A and B are shown apart, each in its own frame.
Chain A
Amino acid sequence: MKSLLATLALTTALTLPGLAMARPVTLTTTLNNYGGDGAYLALYVTDTSGAYVGSLWMAGGKSKYYEHLSDWYRATGGDTAQVNGITGASVGGGRTLEITLDLADALFDAGYTLHIDAAVEDMRDSPNEVAVPLTTTGAGTPMRGRRYVASFAYDM
């Protein structure tokens, strides 16, 4: 089990003015045994209209591969500043990525969606591998991704 603990200094986009209240949230992503090299994962949030709000985590250190996280890449224009300080190693098959960060209360039950884009070298690009609405009731409910993610859950 690979465990990763990080405290996120919230990006400005995720810190809504006047709503300083935040709570620690643990994001747990477990990958299936897809039989390839380490997977790159981009975790990010979009608003009700589907517009990109901000990034939560980038698993994978080589920015030249980010274009394979195609939704995230198109939304950010590949801007690595979006994941400065919140980048870690890629995640191997069968491994678990666990991140704990402080998320603004206002992100919950307000139509925001958490997305995971995934990509593996010489395998399928899987943008929108996971898309899960951020709700207080949905916390702790694991769900499957489309290709690489065996289970994903956020806990408060």
Chain B
Amino acid sequence: MIRALHRWPGLLALALVTVLSLSGAALSVFPVAERIAAPQSDQTLTVAALANRIQANYPGVEQIRRAPSGRITAYWFDQGAPGAAVIDPATGEGVASADPNQTQRWLTNLHRSLFLGDGGRIAMAAGAAAMLILSLSGAALVARRAGGWRHWFAHLRGPLAGRLHVEIARIAVIGLVLSSTTALWMTASTFDLLPDGGILPAATEASGETGFAPGRMPTLRQTPVAELRELSFPYPGDATDMFTLKTDRGTGYLDQGDGALLAWADLTGWERVSETIYMLHTGQGAATLGLVLGLMALGVPAMGATGVLVWLAGRRGRPRIRGNQPAGRAETILLVGSEGGSTWGFAATLHAALTQAGQSVHVGPMSGFAPQRYARAERIILLAATYGDGAAPATAKGFLDRLNTPSRAPDIPLAVLGFGDRSFPAYCAFAKSVAAAAQARGWPELLPQGTIDRQSPQDFARWGRALGDALGIDLELSHQPVQPQATTLTVVSRRDYGAEVQAPTAILRFALPRASLWQRLLGCGFARFQAGDLIGILPEGGAVPRLYSLASGRRDGFVEIVVKKHPGGLCSGQLTALQPGDTVAAFLRRNPGFRVGRGKAPLILIGAGTGIGPLAGFIRGNARRRPIHLFFGMRHPGSDFFYGEEIPGWQDEGRLTQLVTAVSRGARPHYVQDALRGEAAQVADLIRNGARVMVCGGRDMAAGVADALAEILAPAGLTPALLKAEGRYVEDVY
């Protein structure tokens, strides 16, 4: 619901809010420029003294105005010719033209009415309303995505467009809310919808005398120039006329014969509110704030562009389901809880495979869960992503409530498959709560709850086989997420290890592919990558790409991976057979969750086997000599000590502070978690002082490392889960 409230006003009002924000940003510069350019008066100057000075220079002065910027303008007639100038209050002389700035006037008219009069004003007010709705709904979405308002500035993961959108939004939203609400107030004021008009002092009779100099009038002598807004002089020769004084406090009339204050009216409360709002919106009287709001407004076009990209990506990610059966006639009900749309792709693959196996399958969103309609259903399969800190994703809103409403006794076997990212603390949390709720309500279990890490096709294929076993059919799920365009990589060198310990492994180095100008501009593909990012390789004769962690960044000038040949492994077999000059097709997948980050805090890198790849890349790229402690587990130092040749050099250069190895083959088998325990005191000390832990390697090793760290950190009152929540413990596990 909130998402729809964000998407549609955003797309509809995109052009309008872009014009509003760009013109607003441009206008925000003028108050600052005026403030700098205007000669300021000293604090003690009174209106009386100022009026005297100006009248001495311009005897025909008719009106003196002071803008909130401090700029003083005088208007006079000299022998019938009108004159006006910006006045230096120190001398009372004109120093600059008082003509309105034509650029500012043009921008103002564009900003408030598109040059279209009242219709344009209403359109722009609608734009401001759209901006307000977008800001509020967007803020709610950010809070939901981050897992609550407390996590407003939480670290972001995900595709660049979405991250940029949120990064800009969470800074700019305050300014946009302020600018749009004040805009709506000002429009209401312009159209007389608010009782904020001024009231005049009661009419009075003047003394009928003339000739009392303003410089002698007590009221003017008591009014500092800083409070002045306007002083109008009486018509020459009209004894019934009087001086009119407007200040920050109100309006009054002064007698031109004796200088007495004839009448006074204070500003009304409404007037004060409207003036404050005018100041907040225009920055006139609050130039710095105006400039800040202008800068924030500049985020709007960027958010528009990234927002459209996010929307398009979401649309592209949701495939058409061919031959979808109605819910009432289907044997298998396949419900999807998806946030960004990628889970729909898995649903489409599963739908196609089950349909091919002769089943009739209905696919729908989890939010449409209605068991009473599933007349012929024999099983329900739920594919559930997780949003933020375990919340329901967009298409599963209200699912748990529906599941928990008492209806007929549940008798359809149910399977839950969670989609998530293992590097998040709330990995597949929504799927877990769905499975738990279903079990509590007494739904029979078709399959134990499964999980898919980072859209892994392998995980999905594995789960598919389990599902096939449960159904008694042969189910081969080859899900291929829409792959980016592959680039051809050429091998330049290979180094071989591990043959003696039955783990043949190669460090493969590929030449840096040439990036097109377009790729370089957008930083897509191999134009920009870092150690820890992934490359996907589709093996010949295989349907599913395999992902490998990169051991190099673009700056290293080559693409490097560490590949172990798995017995019978299709992709690893092909890769480890490559010789210099051979080529392979690969695409880049960013892995923003596994980066060293900026900061100067020490890094504790923990890896075993080929897991050292990205860690070695981090060390090689450590030009700033950040303290790095590497824990590396291998089988035998004489055989599979990857990067053993480079490590001493990295230590000499200060890129690597400490190396601790663990050797698993030999008299005393020693694993990397044992190495951690051996340095427990130092590790605990480093982590207490802010060190960041990065783990790369197999799943069992990662579990062992988490256990070891839990032991090591317990005395300090810390846990791996706590560190994960702070983003100080990240894993890249396969």
Contact A124 B100 (CB under 8 A): no
B63–A124 contact, CB under 8 A? yes
Q: Which residues of B contact A77 (CB under 8 A)?
A: 200, 203
CB–CB A124/B190 < 8 A: no
A25 to B200, CA, bound (A): 33
Contact A61 B118 (CB under 8 A): yes
- Closest partner residue, chain A, to B121 (CB atom): A62
CB contact list, B586-614 vs A, under 8 A: none
- The answer to whether the Cβ of A23 comes within 8 Å of any Cβ in the partner chain is no
A50 touches B240 (CB 8 A): yes
Chain B binder among A7-15, A66-74, A100-108: A66-74
Residue-wise, chain B 63-75 has the 8 Å CB interface mask toward A (1 for contact) of 1000000000001
- The answer to the question of A37 belonging to the interface, with a C-beta cut-off of 8 Å to chain B, is yes
* B99 engages A67 (CB within 8 Å): no
- Establish whether residues B200 and A74, one from each chain, have CB atoms under 8 Å apart when the complex forms: yes
Contact B200 A73 (CB under 8 A): yes
In the assembled complex, A47 has its CB within 8 A of some CB on chain B: no
Contacts of B190 in A (CB 8 A): 62, 64
Asked whether B99 lies within 8 Å of A78 as measured between CB atoms, the reply is no
CB distance from B205 to the nearest CB of A (A): 13
Residues of B within 8 A of A64 (CB): 189-190, 192, 196-197
Residues in B76-104 with C-beta less than 8 Å from chain A: 77, 80, 82, 84, 99-100, 102
Q: Which A residues lie within 8 Å of B192 (CB)?
A: 62-64
A98 within 8 A of B: no
Interface assignment of A16: CB less than 8 Å from any CB of chain B: no
**A35 close to B99 (CB less than 8 A):** yes
Contact between A63 and B232, CB atoms less than 8 A apart: no
Give Cα distance in the complex from A123 to B98, angstroms. 8
Q: Kindly state whether residue B105 has any CB partner on chain A within 8 Å.
A: yes
Given the known inter-chain contacts A122-B100, A146-B82, please indicate yes or no for A37 contacting B105, CB distance below 8 A: yes
Cβ < 8 Å to B, chain A residues 9-59:
35-37, 50
Name the distance in Å between A68's Cβ and chain B's nearest Cβ. Answer: 10
Q: Restricting to B186-219, which residues have a CB under 8 Å from any CB of A?
A: 189-192, 196-198, 200, 203
* Cα distance A63–B80 in the bound complex, in angstroms: 30
Contacts of B84 in A (CB 8 A): 123-124
Nearest-neighbour CB distance to chain A for B189, whole angstroms, equals 6
Residue of B nearest to A89 (CB): B117
Find out whether the CB atom of A146 lies under 8 angstroms from the CB atom of B232: no
Is there contact, CB below 8 Å, between B200 and A36?
no
* Cα distance, A146 to B60, chains bound together (Å): 13
Contact of B306 with A by CB under 8 A: no
How many Å lie between the Cα of A61 and that of B118 in the bound state? 10
- Asked whether A78 and B82 contact (CB < 8 A) given A35-B102, A37-B105, A50-B240, the answer is no
Q: Which of B77, B105, B109, B197 contacts A146 (CB 8 A)?
A: B77
Which B-chain residue is minimally distant from A128 (CB atoms)? B235
Residue B244 CB within 8 A of the other chain:
yes
Shortest beta-carbon distance from B65 to chain A in Å: 9
Measured between beta carbons, the chain A residues less than 8 angstroms from B80 are 146
Contact partners of B77 in chain A: CB under 8 A: 146
Residues of A within 8 Å of B189, CB to CB, are 64
Closest Cβ neighbor of B242 among chain A residues: A74
Q: How far is the CB of A6 from chain B (nearest CB, A)?
A: 19
* B residues near A124, Cβ cutoff 8 Å: 62-63, 75, 82, 84
**CB neighbours of A147 from chain B (8 A):** 82
**B109, B240, B244: the one within 8 Å of A37 (CB):** B109
The distance from the CB of B173 to the nearest CB of chain A, in whole angstroms, is 30
In whole angstroms, how far apart are the Cα atoms of A77 and B117 in the complex?
27
Q: In the complex, which of the residues A73, A125, A128 has the most CB atoms of chain B within 10 Å of its own CB atom?
A: A125
Q: Mark B40-75, 1 if CB is under 8 A from A, else 0.
A: 000000000000000000000011000000000001
CB within 8 Å of B: which A125-151 residues: 125, 128, 146-147
Across-interface contacts of B198 in A (CB, < 8 A): 67, 78
Contact of A36 among B63, B100, B235, B240 (CB under 8 A): B100
CB-defined contacts of B109 to chain A, threshold 8 Å: 37
Complex CA distance for A70 and B245, rounded to whole angstroms: 12
Q: How far is the CB of A114 from chain B (nearest CB, A)?
A: 17
Shortest Cβ distance from residue B648 to the other chain A in the assembled complex, whole angstroms = 73
Query: Considering the complex, which residues of chain B in the window 112-145 have a beta carbon less than 8 Å from any beta carbon of chain A?
Result: 117-118
**Chain A, Cβ-Cβ closest to B101:** A122
- Output the least CB separation between B683 and chain A (Å): 68
Instruction: Give, as a whole number of angstroms, the nearest-CB distance from B284 to chain A.
Output: 11
Q: 5 tightest A-B contacts by CB? A: A124-B75, A147-B82, A122-B100, A36-B100, A63-B192
Interface residue ranges, A against B (CB under 8 Å): 35-37, 50, 61-64, 67, 70, 73-74, 77-78, 89, 121-125, 128, 146-147
Question: Could you pull out 5 A-B pairs where Cβ atoms are within 8 angstroms?
Answer: A35-B99, A122-B105, A123-B84, A125-B75, A147-B82
Given known contacts A36-B100, A64-B192, A67-B197, what 14 new A-B pairs fall within 8 Å (CB)? A37-B105, A37-B109, A62-B190, A64-B189, A64-B190, A64-B196, A67-B198, A70-B232, A78-B197, A124-B63, A124-B84, A125-B75, A125-B232, A128-B235
